[in-house]
Protein backbone atom coordinates (compact mmCIF):
# COMPACT_ATOMS: atom_id res chain seq x y z
CA UNK A 1 0.00 0.00 0.00
CA UNK A 2 1.27 3.48 -0.78
CA UNK A 3 2.50 5.73 2.00
CA UNK A 4 -0.17 8.36 1.19
CA UNK A 5 -2.94 5.79 1.30
CA UNK A 6 -1.69 4.32 4.59
CA UNK A 7 -1.44 7.77 6.18
CA UNK A 8 -4.93 8.68 4.96
CA UNK A 9 -6.33 5.52 6.48
CA UNK A 10 -4.58 6.33 9.79
CA UNK A 11 -6.07 9.83 9.76
CA UNK A 12 -9.57 8.48 9.18
CA UNK A 13 -9.21 5.77 11.82
CA UNK A 14 -8.03 8.36 14.38
CA UNK A 15 -11.07 10.59 13.82
CA UNK A 16 -14.30 10.18 15.80
CA UNK A 17 -17.01 7.95 14.35
CA UNK A 18 -19.39 10.88 13.90
CA UNK A 19 -17.01 12.98 11.77
CA UNK A 20 -18.23 14.35 8.47
CA UNK A 21 -16.73 14.18 4.99
CA UNK A 22 -15.76 17.82 5.47
CA UNK A 23 -13.94 16.97 8.70
CA UNK A 24 -12.00 14.22 6.96
CA UNK A 25 -11.14 16.40 3.99
CA UNK A 26 -10.01 19.25 6.25
CA UNK A 27 -7.74 16.93 8.21
CA UNK A 28 -6.19 15.44 5.07
CA UNK A 29 -5.71 18.93 3.58
CA UNK A 30 -4.08 20.18 6.79
CA UNK A 31 -1.65 17.24 6.83
CA UNK A 32 -0.77 17.79 3.17
CA UNK A 33 -0.06 21.49 3.72
CA UNK A 34 2.09 20.81 6.80
CA UNK A 35 4.12 18.22 4.87
CA UNK A 36 4.49 20.66 1.98
CA UNK A 37 5.72 23.38 4.34
CA UNK A 38 8.23 21.07 6.00
CA UNK A 39 9.54 20.04 2.58
CA UNK A 40 9.97 23.69 1.60
CA UNK A 41 11.91 24.32 4.82
CA UNK A 42 14.19 21.36 4.02
CA UNK A 43 14.74 22.80 0.53
CA UNK A 44 15.63 26.21 1.94
CA UNK A 45 12.55 27.86 0.44
CA UNK A 46 12.01 30.21 3.35
CA UNK A 47 12.26 33.92 4.00
CA UNK A 48 13.34 35.80 7.09
CA UNK A 49 10.96 37.63 9.41
CA UNK A 50 12.35 40.95 8.08
CA UNK A 51 11.68 39.91 4.47
CA UNK A 52 8.13 38.94 5.40
CA UNK A 53 7.53 42.29 7.09
CA UNK A 54 8.73 44.08 3.94
CA UNK A 55 6.41 42.00 1.77
CA UNK A 56 3.48 42.66 4.11
CA UNK A 57 4.15 46.40 4.07
CA UNK A 58 4.26 46.42 0.26
CA UNK A 59 1.00 44.49 0.18
CA UNK A 60 -0.65 46.87 2.64
CA UNK A 61 0.50 49.87 0.59
CA UNK A 62 -0.87 48.33 -2.60
CA UNK A 63 -4.34 48.03 -1.07
CA UNK A 64 -4.26 51.51 0.43
CA UNK A 65 -3.56 50.84 4.11
Half-sphere exposure of 14 (CA within 13 A, CB side): 10
Domains identified in the chain, total number: 1
Q: How far is CA 18 from CA 29, 31, 33, 35, in A?
A: 19, 20, 24, 26
Residue 45 CB burial class (10 angstroms; 0-12, 13-18, ≥19)? exposed
pTM of the full structure: 0.70
Give the domain extent around 52: 3-62
Which tens digits make up the pLDDT trace of 12-64?
A: 999 999 999 999 999 999 999 999 999 999 999 999 999 999 999 999 999 98
Amino acid sequence: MSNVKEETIRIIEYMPDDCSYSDIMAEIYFKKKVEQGLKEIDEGKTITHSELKLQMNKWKESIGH
